[in-house]
Structure 1
Amino acid sequence: MAINKFVMAALKALSYPDIDIKRNYKWGRQVTNVTHYHYLKPFYKTWDHKVPCGDHDVPVRIFSPPGEGHHSLLLFFHGGGWVLGNIDSYDKVCANMARLTNRLVVSVDYRLAPEHKFPAAPEDCYAVTREIYLNTGLLETSAEDITLIGDSAGANLAAVVSLMARDRGEFLPKKQILIYPATYNDHTERSFFDSVRENGTDYLLTSKRICDYMDLYMSCPEDLRNPYFAPLLAKSLADQPDTLVITAEYDPLRDEGEEYARKLEKFGNRVELHRIADGLHGFFSLPPSFPQVKECYEIINRFLSEVPQA
């Protein structure tokens, strides 16, 4: 199937030049912030909060949907290869998410690599998740009404937080939504996954860029074998939340995301897997009028309306 030329043009507009991200990650952040900033903010309510985590605080931004009354909650971890992005650059995405799902959205501004290497990001995300799950009065939301969600590296972090929660035994999320997640540790020509070779050179997210992100993110080579770095490596995926995995047809991460869904199901979890046709990595940041985004939200809202398994 040929990629819709309008989708390709929009995704290129959301992208940044093919710079050497390992040398120029600070410049890449500036470009990302400028191209993703929400200059014409609509009327929506937000407020900022900080969650303690060791010797620092993790900023979060809370987006309220239109209307009054009780709302369920989406705890969102942004993408950007663990190196780029922040709560400002994801303002538009989170405002749209709150409106289109009619849920509170809590966006987490976790620490970025390479200044803060693995496991800084998952520990920040876990600290925020723990605070919200164990202090449900903070946002007047019960644990059953909280769903973890992330895109790309953020989906990796959502999956990792669910594994950490199971392993540490303090709480356990009921639902998670993983949008084109990064789950594996090899994106070279040696990868098990065809999507790395099929989609790793001609589209917006290249396999080289993924490898560069991971090099910036890891503290040492042993991290590559850590399931909190690459969750597909976990020996057991038992006792995980009900999971929705959404992949994109022309994404080098497509196959590893779909394999993660299959492995979750193999270990007895309830899983839904959807591949967005004609989709490229990054489509979730497009305006909601785009067909791929509309389909994605239709799938998300169906999943959210289902009652979690006991």
Structure 2
Amino acid sequence: MTLHPEIKNTFDSMPSEDSKQKIIPEEARKFMNIPATPIEKRVPLYALEDKNVPTPEMDIPIRIYTPEDKGNYPVLMYFHGGAFFSGNIESHDDIVREIAMESGYKVIAVDYRLAPEHPYPAALQDCYAVTKWVTEHKEELNWDGENLAVAGDSSGGNLAAAVSLLSRQKQEFTITKQVLYYPSLDLDLSEFRYASLIENAKGYGLESDVLAEFNSFYLSGGADPNDPLVSPIKEQNLEHLPASLVITAEHDPLRDEGELFAENLRNSDVSVELKRYKGGVHAFLGKFTHLDEYKGVYRLTGEFLN
């Protein structure tokens, strides 16, 4: 299927950028961190609360989304995307609100440390530490004590998958489900092993040529891209991981690694739902979920989680 007409019109109206121009994270954040939806148009919730979670490294800001007033809640941890060097709680606020309302889960968004100031494993440490903190504050959060899911988009999908792997390894808590939206699961770009990196290399928002530079910020502390906690697709043993929903977009360079990960999970007897959105692009949540073809992604998420 060709690119969705409205997405194409949006891209056509944008000024062309030089993909060879060096990325300066501090400058890129100024426009990458702008939410797609104005606050007055975002879904209202029963309650929102911002607070800081103490961890061994530092206090980590979080935002707690409570969709309705009830006794106990299943909890979903949300890790935002942004190529490991951008994004924050506010940039993904509209997305998380929708997920909370459709799922009925209390959602906790984590404002983890960003690269290159804080390369791997800082972001993973923060996401894991806050998730552990949640399990230790059951009464304060009105967590039901049973359902603990993780979710993330793009680099946040990487972190969600890595937290699931780390929780299986450490056995300090159990992740029950994971939702990965167009995840970045393979940071080894020594060669383009996926057809989607070539098919969707240019003209679809995220361009393949910039991925290595994006990843370099996260890897700048000497991380090995073949380490499964850096590139979850490198994990050979996927048994006993949580039931998974993997969302991909047809015109996304990262499409094939997400779909291969889903296949690998299924081959390890993990329950998997895989949905490819035709005509879609990377990072379509928030930006294009007003379109009929993509608005159902939140409903699908809610149905999977429940």
TM value normalised by structure 2: 0.91
- 1:6/1:122 Cα in 2 relative to 1: closer, same or farther (>3 Å)? same
**Structure 2 counterpart of 1:25, which letter?**
P
Q: Which amino acid aligns with 2:27?
A: W
**Preserved CA contact (<8 Å) 2:148 2:174:** no
1:262 aligns with 2:270: no
The equivalent position to 2:180 in structure 1, one of 178, 181, 194, is 178
User: Could you tell me how far 1:73 is from its partner in structure 2?
Assistant: 2.2
Q: How does 1:208-287 map to 2 (within 5 A)?
A: 208-220=209-221, 222-286=223-287
Whether contact under 8 Å (2:37, 2:286) holds in the other structure is no
Deviation at 1:100, TM superposition (A): 2.7
Equivalence map 1:37-56=2 (5 Å): 38-40=38-40, 43-44=44-45, 45-56=47-58
2:304 corresponds to 1:299? no
Aligned to 1:28: 28
Could you tell me how far apart the structure 2 residues matched to 1:72 and 1:278 are? 33
Change (3 A) 1:20 1:290: same
- In the TM superposition, 1:1-310 aligns within 5 A as 1-10=1-10, 22-34=22-34, 36=36, 38-40=38-40, 43-44=44-45, 45-187=47-189, 190-220=191-221, 222-286=223-287, 288-305=289-306
SS in 1 for 2:73: coil
Shift of 1:285: 1.9
Residue 138 of structure 1 aligns to a residue in which SS?
A: helix
Q: How much identity, in percent, do the aligned residues show?
A: 35
SS in 2 for 1:202: coil
Structure 1: which 5+ runs fail to align? 306-310
Distance 1:12 1:186 in 2: 31
The letter for the 2-side match of 1:253 is L
The one-letter code of the counterpart of 2:139 is G
Deviation, 1:99, is: 2.2
2:93 aligned partner, one-letter code? D
Residues 22 and 216 in structure 1, CA contact (< 8 A), matched pair in contact too: no
Could you report, residue by residue, the CA deviation over 1:163-211 in whole angstroms, capped at 9, with x for unpaired residues? 00011121120100011111113346x3221000001222101112221
Q: Tell me, which stretches of 5 or more residues in structure 2 are unaligned?
A: none
- In 2, the alpha carbon distance for the partners of 1:13 and 1:106 equals 35
Q: Compute the displacement of 1:145 (Å).
A: 2.1
The TM-score, its normalising length taken from structure 1, stands at 0.90
Shift of 1:297: 1.9
Q: Is the alpha carbon distance of 1:198 and 1:38 closer, same or farther for their aligned partners in structure 2, counting shifts above 3 Å?
A: same
* Paired amino acid for 1:71: Y
Alignment RMSD (CA, Å)? 2.4
Shift, 1:302, TM fit: 2.0
Change in 2 beyond 3 A, CA 1:13/1:138: farther
> In the aligned structure 2, how far is the partner of 1:242 from the partner of 1:167?
17
User: CA shift at 1:93, angstroms?
Assistant: 1.5
CA distance, structure 1, for counterparts of residue 13 and residue 73 of structure 2: 33
Distance in 1 separating the partners of 2:183 and 2:78: 13
Shift of the alpha carbon at 1:68? 4.5
**Aligned mates of 1:15, 1:187 — CA distance in 2:** 27
**1:117/1:222 Cα in 2 relative to 1: closer, same or farther (>3 Å)?**
closer
Preserved contact between residue 196 and residue 252 of structure 1 (Cα < 8 Å): yes
Q: Is the 8 A contact 1:283 1:292 kept in 2?
A: no
Q: Out of 285-294 and 125-134, give the one that drifted further.
A: 285-294
The DSSP-based 3-state class of the residue aligned with 1:244 is strand
Q: Choose between structure 1 and 2: higher helix proportion.
A: 1
Q: Which amino acid aligns with 1:269?
A: V
CA distance in structure 2 between the aligned counterparts of 1:78 and 1:272, rounded to whole angstroms? 21
Flag the 1:89–1:221 CA change in 2: closer, same or farther, 3 A.
same
In the alignment, is the contact (CA less than 8 A) between 1:16 and 1:31 conserved in 2?
no
Name the CA distance, whole Å, in 2 between partners of 1:137 and 1:14: 48
> Match of 2:100, as an amino acid?
A
AA aligned opposite 1:295: G
Question: Whole-Å Cα distance in 1 between the matches of residues 53 and 12 of structure 2?
Answer: 35
Pair 122,34 (structure 1): closer, same or farther in 2 beyond 3 Å? same
